[in-house]
Amino acid sequence: MKEKLVKIFDRLQTSLSAYPKIFRRTELTDYAAFSFFSVLIGIAAGFSAVIFHNAIEFFNNVFFEQTKDGLYFLGSAAVILLPAIGMLIQALMIKFAPDESKRKGVYEVVKAVATKGGNIRFRTTLFHFFAPVISIGSGVTLGPEGPAAQLGGGVASKISSLISLNDERKRIFTAAGAGAAIAAIFNTPLAGVFFTLEIILLNDFHTPTFSALIIASVSASTISRIFLGNESIFIFQILEPIKYSHLHFYALIGIIAGIVSILFIRLDDFFRKFFKKIYDRNYSQIFVMVFVGLIIGISGYFYKEIFGIGYKAINEILSNQLTIQVVLIIFILKFILVPIATNAGAFGGLFAPSLFLGASFGYIIHFALLNYLSINLDLSSVILISMGAMLGGIHTIPITAIMMIFEMTQDYSFILPLMLAIISSTLLVQISLKGTVHKKKLERDGFSFQQNDDYSVLNEIKIEEIPLKEIHSINENTNISAIVSKFLETPENILYVMNGNNELVGFIQEKEIRPILNDYEIIKDVLVAKDISNPRVVTIDSKSSLDDALRVMMKYNLTEIPVVDKSSDTKKVSGIITLQEIQSILSKESFKNQFTSSLAAELKTLKPRQTIKVSDDYSIKEIRVPDSLIGKTLAETRIRNKFNIEILMIKKNKTSIDGVSEDTIITAEPNYRFEAEDELVIFGKDEKLKQFEIELD
């Protein structure tokens, strides 16, 4: 059965992979084809979001109607068990699919876009469709947006793989799919665009990406409005227009919301560490999650408003149907239970809980201003602005928060105080965290994302991997006459001064020699190199990257830097790294990346031992990984330095039932460790490729 499914999938992928070629044969421009695929991704993400929304409602009905009826003997107390049952199912899913469960939420999309060419395993997408709908449907107090973004990104990644788009396009469409799903689930197309820019792409803006985001988000939102309706999620009535004399109150609301956001982020981090310690001590995750589910159930038994997404409760707060005591209690419960649930292992997002916290917090602030300071602001305006400030603060996404509240309410009257409050909140949080919460979480998990520009490649190349320029040096006791001769004999305008142990102790520039030539006859037999050298020589470790070297050069206004091995006790110089060499490498790497991207489809279909002739002297070839490289990282082999060839890709001879492209194509990154089944796609001069095969065979 499995073999039949694999064959069916292979035929489907072969058929769909022909579509890019069909587009190339037609007279459609590249932008037209790009727009077509953006619409396709948007429609797919829109339908995914609609199915996801309906699935949550279905499971909500299963738990709160059918399951509750089955526990009739418990009476109304049956609701206590519903979140526990949901948590039990999720815990079992984690137990039987641990790898898929770890690839959780929006951050998996961020990692895929930044490091994996936009590849998301389809099994991961399916897992994170069912787990959140069970979680939210059973009343666990989380939201749908994180899973929706992962679902949209996963569907977009799968479609991009099926039609054999190159890695750059796949990254764009995976990000666009995530944003489109957000646009569909919240019916907010502009918010979906800025969600992708601020979270998925970490504010890395490119014009083609922006076009894809807009087209996909509008397409997804259209599907959502057709099948889910075009009504605003929140029902409210603004009775009084915003008075600009009250703007400082809304700024104050934003600042206080920022403080609450910081406390929430700290509490979330506390529970993350707490549950990590518990699970590291081998406590049963099933038991822990069921216990957390019981806590949520007991809380929901007394205050049903905390169950699930919470939009109904937000509308009750907006319409002033709840008492201040109830709002205060559900705010505290939500504030504590959300980080407990998500860190215990439950699946769901934090956008909806952030909006819930903002709504209840806004109600509390309005009550305090009215009853203790006699300041009467419009209730709906305060609550909506507080929702935006809390959303922006907890997630450090100011533009997304502004657009989401604006599009959800479809009311322009309070946009100025909304912007003021959200900016105040997010600015305070960013100052406290020294960055955005998303980058902090990714860095905590060991990911360091460079901006996706031409210079980021320098961070991956170590100085020790490239040939260095020979150093021009003199002994510290060399006299002025010999120094002048040395400058005349070499084209260099800088000489490095060495001591008796051949250690670098200073440098002399040509411009420093010229002033003393006026008294040359007097000082030529008196001064030596160490008398006129500058001891403040700047060096760099051979283990450093070219990006580090470039930063040092810019800082000290240098054109070259001596390279030393700082791991040894000596200060011996192994060579010189120059600005010209870095610029040359940067140019070559940019060309290689563009060249690889343009030939991506051909490289993926390259058969073993096949060669693609690029020019008279250069070729692309696939070879089996030599035994001598197995177990070593790409950086350790120093192939670029030794043979002057490039490894463009690593192909793995594996086929899974879901046809995951990340299992077949690996980007050639410095920390990749070669395995026995690898096939290397290499590029370089024919003679160098032959030398590489002979020496490592």
Q: Are 621 and 652 within one domain?
A: yes
Q: Are 253 and 106 within one domain?
A: no
Q: What is the pLDDT of residues 287-326, one digit of tens each?
A: 999 999 999 999 999 999 999 888 899 999 999 999 999 9
Gap between the Cα atoms of 637 and 401, Å rounded: 47
Gap between the Cα atoms of 403 and 408, Å rounded: 8
Question: Rounded mean pLDDT of 99-103?
Answer: 83
Question: Rounded mean pLDDT of 152-165?
Answer: 82
Neighbouring CB atoms inside 10 A of 8's CB total 11
Question: Rounded mean pLDDT of 452-477?
Answer: 74
Average pLDDT score over the chain: 80
Which of 98-112, 145-159, 245-259 is predicted most confidently?
245-259
Last residue of some domain: 583, 617, 647? 583
- The answer to pTM > 0.85 is no
Q: Indicate the SS3 state at residue 253.
A: helix
Reading the block at residue 192, the tokens are: 């979906």
Domain for residue 513, yes or no? yes
Domain for residue 234, yes or no? no
Q: Are 480 and 575 within one domain?
A: yes
User: What's the structural domain count of the chain?
Assistant: 4
Query: Which residue's entry shows tokens 């008294």?
Result: 519
Domain for residue 593, yes or no? no
Q: Are 192 and 52 within one domain?
A: yes
Domain for residue 4, yes or no? no
Domain for residue 238, yes or no? no
Q: Are 275 and 393 within one domain?
A: yes
Q: How confident is the model at residue 218 (pLDDT cuts 50, 70, 90)?
A: confident
Q: How confident is the model at residue 87 (pLDDT cuts 50, 70, 90)?
A: very high
Reading the block at residue 521, the tokens are: 């006859």
* CA 608 to each of CA 90, 623, 632, 695: distance values in angstroms, whole numbers, following the listed order: 43, 6, 22, 19
Q: What is the pLDDT of residues 23-56, one digit of tens each?
A: 445 444 566 777 888 888 889 988 998 999 898 8
Q: Are 89 and 46 within one domain?
A: yes
| pLDDT reported for residue 650 | 78
Q: Are 363 and 283 within one domain?
A: yes
Q: Are 222 and 336 within one domain?
A: no
Q: How confident is the model at residue 659 (pLDDT cuts 50, 70, 90)?
A: very low
> Of the given ranges (264-278, 415-429, 472-486), which has the lowest mean pLDDT?
472-486
Domain for residue 452, yes or no? no
Gap between the Cα atoms of 116 and 649, Å rounded: 12
Gap between the Cα atoms of 333 and 327, Å rounded: 10
Q: Are 317 and 401 within one domain?
A: yes
Q: What is the CATH number of the domain that holds 279?
A: 1.10.3080.10
Residue ranges making up the domain that contains 673: 599-696
Please, are residues 464 and 132 in contact by the beta-carbon 8 Å criterion? no
Gap between the Cα atoms of 668 and 7, Å rounded: 29
Residue 633 CA to its chain's centroid (Å)? 24
Q: Is the model's pLDDT at 575 over the cut of 80?
A: yes
Q: What is the pLDDT of residues 480-518, one digit of tens each?
A: 778 777 777 777 778 888 887 878 888 887 776 777 666
Query: Which residue's entry shows tokens 């026995």?
Result: 676
Q: How confident is the model at residue 70 (pLDDT cuts 50, 70, 90)?
A: low
| pLDDT reported for residue 89 | 93
Longest distance between any two alpha carbons in the chain, whole Å: 111
Q: Are 576 and 623 within one domain?
A: no
Percent helix, percent strand, percent coil in the chain, to nearest 5? 65, 10, 25
Gap between the Cα atoms of 208 and 187, Å rounded: 23
Gap between the Cα atoms of 158 and 164, Å rounded: 10
Domain for residue 642, yes or no? yes
Q: Are 610 and 464 within one domain?
A: no
Question: Rounded mean pLDDT of 168-192?
Answer: 83
Burial class of residue 267, CB neighbours in 10 A (0-12, 13-18, 19+): middle
| pLDDT reported for residue 215 | 86
Q: What is the pLDDT of residues 238-287, one digit of tens each?
A: 777 777 778 888 999 999 999 999 999 999 999 999 999 999 888 899 99
Q: Are 410 and 518 within one domain?
A: no
Domain for residue 668, yes or no? yes
Share of the chain above pLDDT 90, in %: 23
Q: Which residue has the higher pLDDT, 386 or 79?
A: 386
Q: Is the model's pLDDT at 71 over the cut of 70?
A: no
Gap between the Cα atoms of 550 and 561, Å rounded: 10
Reading the block at residue 50, the tokens are: 């609609």
Q: Is the model's pLDDT at 534 over the cut of 90?
A: no
Q: What is the CATH number of the domain that holds 494?
A: 3.10.580.10
